[in-house]
Amino acid sequence: MDLRALLGLKPLDDVRSALFVQPHPDDNEVGAGGTIAKLAVSGCRVVTVTVTDGRCGATGPIDPNQLARRRQQELEAACEMLGVREHIEFGFEDLGAYTEEDVVEKLVPVLLDIRPEVVVTVDPWTPYEAHPDHVKTGRAVAQCAIRLASLAVPQHPPAYVPLMFAFYASAYANTAVDVTEHWDIKLRAIEAHASQFATPEWPALKAFFEYQSRQAAVQFLGASGDGRLVETFKVLSPRQLHFFPDAISS
């Protein structure tokens, strides 16, 4: 049975509107920068949301307010490189005491306004994911599927619920997007976050990203993936986000 067709899932690089929700200013670029660039070039409406201000993304004697300001500038530069013209910042404090519900409360009006076909975010269920901002953000996005499909969010019928959800940095990826032609721009957008990546480790990390991507291309695309670069996602329909144990293996 073709469960994906049954659930109405489209190819991820064939949507006309997409919302990318990231916990910190650089997560979208690392997880999905190539896909963002590919969609933006195709004429898809791409909107990004950044949940926190990234003020804790360093060690050492740096003023958190100053770091937050710097990261906002880096974020704006990265968005421009990827062709993102609409960007929203929620402004929660990085590693702050905000809750998953606080994020849901801000996300629901954004979703109802933009009505994206797909919402993309970090996978909060990836084993060993310990960062609270990633867990809260990913779960808040998923919770929006439940809220929008209920009377908790009053809507005139037919109620809007995103067609699908896609999670990057997932240990259970089921989809690959070929981003070979957008790999360089993805790397440049990551490098725009100099506060995070202008480090001695960056060349090795960059090589690892490429190795990982080439491996995934062969895994997902078979022989035709040889030499290609992909980003991988766990794509699920809203139905699979509740009472659906098979979602993990779909």
Residue 136 contacts Zn ion per CB under 5 A = no
Q: Report, in Å, the least distance between residue 23 CB and Zn ion.
A: 5
Buried b (16+ CB within 10 A) or exposed e, 37-52: bbbbeeebbbbbbbbb
Going edge to edge, which strands form the sheet with 17-22? 86-92, 45-52, 17-22, 118-122, 164-168, 230-236, 175-178
Residue 37: which of 86, 96, 79, 97 has the closest Cα? Answer: 79
Identify the CA nearest to 7 among candidates 158, 161, 167, 116.
161
Number of chain residues interacting with Zn ion (CB under 5 A): 3
Interface residue with Zn ion among 13, 23, 174, 191 (CB under 5 A) is: 23
CB of 176 to Zn ion, least distance (A): 22
Told to check if 24 binds Zn ion by CB under 5 A, we report yes
Q: Which of 13, 27, 53, 123 binds Zn ion (CB under 5 A)?
A: 27
Q: Residue 106 or 239: which CB sits closer to Zn ion?
A: 106
Residue whose entry in the numeric block shows the structure tokens 């310990």: 130
Closest CB 16 distance from Zn ion, rounded Å: 27
Q: How far is the CB of 54 from Zn ion (least distance, A)?
A: 8
CB 48 within 8 A of CB 72: no
Q: Of the ranges 20-28, 75-83, 204-212, 234-242, which one interacts with Zn ion (CB under 5 A)? A: 20-28
138 lies in the binding site for Zn ion (CB under 5 A): no
| CB nearer Zn ion, residue 23 or residue 162 | 23
User: Measured between alpha carbons, how far is 102 from 20 in angstroms, rounded to an integer?
Assistant: 18
Q: Catalog residues that contact Zn ion under the rule CB under 5 A.
A: 23-24, 27
